Chain A
Amino acid sequence: MKITGLTAVALVFGASVAMAEVVPPKEVKFTEDGAVETPVTTTPGNPANGRKVFAHRKKGNCLACHQNSDMKDLPFHGEIGPSLDGVGDRYSEAELRGIVVNAKKALNPDTIMPAFYKDWGFRRVLKKFQGKSILTAQEVEDVVAYLKTLKE
């Protein structure tokens, strides 16, 4: 009995330190409304890291197009997309995830917004980015976790 309990604990512990389970870009499922309900990795999003990915010019680079009052310390917020102030109020987590993964499916096929979790179906991709998505699964979840914190 005691041994069984220990084994169970060990199993659970073992599972949590094992590799996170990742949904590859091609297998991400969208709802009819363009939301993605299942996280793309089992490791929960980290909003602090998401904030970094958001601002990083070679990662999310979200400030290139969006204003975000939470980042007043950084100069030059873009004007291409809508302000992201309060975006955590306006969208559910699943909707935010859908927009980050592929805004062309979540919002509008003609949007200028890149798909951040898509690694196929592009034309003339530079060699070093071929077969890769802009963000990793973990970075997607981190950004989604950060966006959830942007409340009015």
Chain B
Amino acid sequence: MKLTRIGAGLAAAIIGLAGMASAEEPEIKKLVIDGVEMTVAAPAPPYLENLDMIYSGWLFRSPETQALELDDFDNPGMVFVEQAQDMFSTPEGTAGKACADCHQLEDFKGLRTVLPRVEDDGKLWTMEDYINKCRTDRMGAKAWKYGGTELTSMVALIGLQSRGMPVNVKIDGPAKPYWEKGKEIFYTRVGQLDMACANCHEDNYGKMIRADRLSQGQINGFPTYRLKNGKLNSVHARFKGCMKNIRAQPYNVGGDEFKALELYIASRGNGLSVETPSVRN
């Protein structure tokens, strides 16, 4: 009898703690890069039932890490962007063409905001897919490794052209089934630690998990330069790292599951600015 009461009281107390209420809102600061103010906090899109506000991961970082993103000269991710700029104008492949022979960088303004998206073939295309398709079909060059430095650097260079513009991926029409699949992955517990993305990045953002402050897991700043590994990190590489942390077998980098998850998580950031390339820990 006594045990029962203790058990019930305990369960009630824990349930009270377990909801959204346990997440902690970050301190809102202004992020201005190169004279352009970023939207780092915005009302959550209506399809996010459990969030009122969405926040850039920048808000959850320490002042020291935040400072690295304020100026492109300080941003270590820009080194990779510059390398991509060189690659952009270097001919490669059997056609003897460079990206620059057909494209001007400015043409890509806005592209980052709408990717991934469903193409005419009914498939979900990421920025990486477009770049590699161009390389293999038009340049006669080899596809770059998905998640590798070259491809991720090029994704950052093209993403940078949309910096400051709001993320605006489509979730309806042909995108709907992909979005639903991504959402299911986001809320499904996996691994020996038996956790879903939502357990940390929806229920507990703003809190410390050991030495790291949990963010909402937004990807508006990707590819992101991580101080932890000293390189640009693709969205899928980050997903993979997260899954390994919870001792789950990651999905394939560049595979259908991660593409669907990328669309879903991108949609959770609809309204935040593209911040590419961001700096995180």
Residues of chain A having any CB pair with chain B under 8 Å: 31-35, 57, 61, 63-65, 75-80, 82, 95, 104, 107-108, 110-112, 114-115, 122-127, 129, 132, 134
List, in ascending order, chain A residues with CB within 8 A of B203's CB: 112
- A110-B195 in contact given A33-B6, A123-B189 (Cβ < 8 Å): no
Q: Choose, from B13-21, B52-60, B112-120, B142-150, the stretch at the interface.
A: B13-21
A33-B7, A108-B15, A125-B249 known; A78 vs B208 contact (CB < 8 Å): yes
Q: Is the CB of B18 within 8 A of A125?
A: no
Q: Does A35 contact B247, Cβ atoms closer than 8 Å?
A: no
Interface flag for B83 (CB, 8 Å): no
Does A110 lie within 8 Å of B7, measured CB to CB?
A: no
The 8 A CB mask of B20-49 against A (1 = contact, 0 = none) is 000000000000000000000000000000
Given contacts A114-B192, A125-B247, A127-B249, contact A32 B7 (CB under 8 A): yes
Contacts of B207 in A (CB 8 A): 78-80
Contacts of A115 in B (CB 8 A): 194
What are 5 pairs between A and B in contact, CB < 8 Å? A76-B210, A104-B194, A112-B204, A123-B190, A126-B244
Interface of A is mostly: loop
- In contact, A79 and B4 (Cβ under 8 angstroms): no
Report the nearest A residue to B7, measured CB to CB. A33
Please report the number of residue pairs spanning A and B whose Cβ atoms sit closer than 8 angstroms: 93
- B interface secondary structure, majority: mixed
In contact, A132 and B192 (Cβ under 8 angstroms): yes
Asked if A114 contacts B193 (CB within 8 A), the reply is yes
Q: Are B14 and A108 in contact (CB under 8 A)?
A: yes
Give residues in B with beta carbon < 8 Å to A.
Answer: 3-4, 6-7, 10-11, 14-15, 17-18, 188-195, 199-200, 203-204, 207-211, 214, 243-244, 247-249
What 4 pairs across the A-B complex have the smallest Cβ distances? Answer: A33-B7, A76-B211, A79-B207, A112-B199
**Is A32 within 8 A of B4, CB to CB?**
yes
CB–CB A78/B192 < 8 A: no
Query: A122 contacts which chain B residues (CB < 8 A)?
Result: 189-192, 194
**What residues of chain B lie closer than 8 Å to A112, measured between beta carbons?**
18, 195, 199-200, 203-204
| Contacts A107-B10, A111-B18 given; does A126 touch B191 at CB 8 Å | yes
Known pairs A95-B6, A124-B248, A124-B249 / 14 extra A-B pairs, C-beta < 8 Å: A57-B210, A64-B209, A76-B208, A77-B208, A78-B207, A78-B208, A80-B208, A104-B194, A114-B192, A123-B248, A125-B247, A125-B249, A126-B248, A132-B192
Complex-state Cα separation, A2 to B7, whole angstroms: 52
Report the Cα distance A110→B199, complex, angstroms. 9
- Complex CA–CA separation, A95 to B7 (angstroms): 9
Expressed in whole angstroms, the minimum distance between the Cβ of A102 and any Cβ of chain B is: 10
- Evaluate whether A129 and B200 lie within 8 angstroms (CB atoms) in the complex, with A108-B15, A114-B194 already known: no
Task: Give A107 to B16 CA distance when docked, in angstroms.
Answer: 12
Closest Cβ of chain B to A29, distance in Å, is 15
A72 to chain B, nearest CB (A): 15
- Asked whether, in the complex, the Cβ of B14 is within 8 Å of the Cβ of A107, the reply is yes
For the complex, what is the distance from the CA of A34 to the CA of B11, rounded to whole Å?
10
